[in-house]
Amino acid sequence: MSPTHPHPSDLSPETLVVSAGRPERVHDAPVNPPIVLSSTFVGTGTVVDGDRAYGRYSNPTWDPLEEAISALEGATVPSLVFGSGLAAVSAALSLVPVKGVLVMPTHSYQGALVMAQELAAKGLFVLRTVDIADTDEVISALTGAGERAASMLWLESPTNPMLEVADLRVLARSAKAVGALVVTDNTFSTPLVQKPLELGSDIVLHSVTKYLAGHSDVVLGSLTTSNAELRATLHHHRSIHGAIAGPFEAWLALRGLRTLALRVERSQATAGELARRLEAHGGVDAVRYPGLDSDPGHQRAKDQMHGFGSILGIEVSGGAAAAEAVVEALRIWTPATSLGGVESLIERRRRHANEPTSVPENLLRLSVGIENIEDLWADLEQALRRGATG
């Protein structure tokens, strides 16, 4: 690890996003960590833990980003960055023992769900999918109801794209009672809104591509844990399977991270107001957003989140065709997959063949950016009018 300037552990997240991962504060040191472009590192003798040795094991440009994510999630050891969010998913799923049992939400990040389904189809483990908002159903799946207990509980809250909210504390306790590891995908919330390690998770996953990097120009993932042994196992997986981050991408992600607090504050406030307006709109059958008093997960989200995030879902009146018409009529909202960037994105999720059929055909997922709220609202209103008239 390269030397970095230490930061107090009691700093607020808004300060940590700016201060964590800075170079050591010595005379003429750079304020920002530099990019190190090297495939190998000088060394003699036996390679020991901590040696860089080779670019697949370590790179100085990863270190500050890993330190910053770790600090934000409240972990006691550095995070691990991966070449993509799915690379991080793959490493986390490698912890499920052969013939073990994985419990995963029916509505999860599509890539993670498809990967789990394919691994289960090969007989590597048993997959049990559950309504993650139904605590009793999840606990039953964990205990096995007379069959094998779970080896891993995969949590996502709020879920993608249905925005269901899990009782993270209770489910983490229940998983640990049967000896299961708990992995939480915290991509939607970011560590500014939700701290899964504090709520009982063993590992926190991020698609760094999304909010942490924040500018739709990087593909990266990360895993964070306070368990040094788990980290070592995940590090070995990353090294052997080659799921490494490019140094330039890591540098860009850290640069983007510096404005995370401002971006989340703005986009979250806008998302909440848009959700309230859309709930009253005649062209919308339903709005999914845990910040609404009417949302089934509202109270649970209030108890375990610091805010409600910047993603919302709407079910457009008139079905899939009307929903597509709305997307095509938008001028400011960008029709694209992904989320968490400075620009507002919108997508009909069932356009993807692998999306669960329980996701409504007319559901649009909105990733709210940092544009002017009235411009975003006016664009939505005119598009909803056009969608209603065909």
Catalytic residues: 56, 109, 185, 210
Which residues fall within 8 angstroms of residue 278, CB to CB, at 6 or more apart?
284, 287, 312, 314, 380
Contacts of 1 (CB under 8 A, 6+ apart): 50, 63, 67, 78
| Three-state DSSP class for residue 141 | helix
Q: What are phi and psi of 55, to 5 degrees?
A: -65, -15
Q: What are phi and psi of 121, to 5 degrees?
A: -65, -25
Contact by Cβ (8 Å): 369, 330: no
Any idea what the Cα angle at residue 235 is, between residues 232 and 236, rounded to 5°?
90
Residues 185-223 as b/e (b if ≥16 CB within 10 A, e otherwise) read bbbbbbbbbbbbbebbbbbbbbbbbbbbbbbbebbbbbb
Distance between start and end Cα atoms, the chain = 58
Q: Which residues contact 10 (CB under 8 A, 6 or more apart)?
A: none
Q: Using CA atoms, how far apart are residues 169 and 195, in angstroms rounded to an integer? A: 11
Residues 154/104, Cβ–Cβ less than 8 Å: yes
If we measure between CA atoms, which residue out of 265, 267, 256 comes closest to residue 376? 267
- Using CA atoms, how far apart are residues 145 and 381, in angstroms rounded to an integer? 49
Length of the chain equals 390
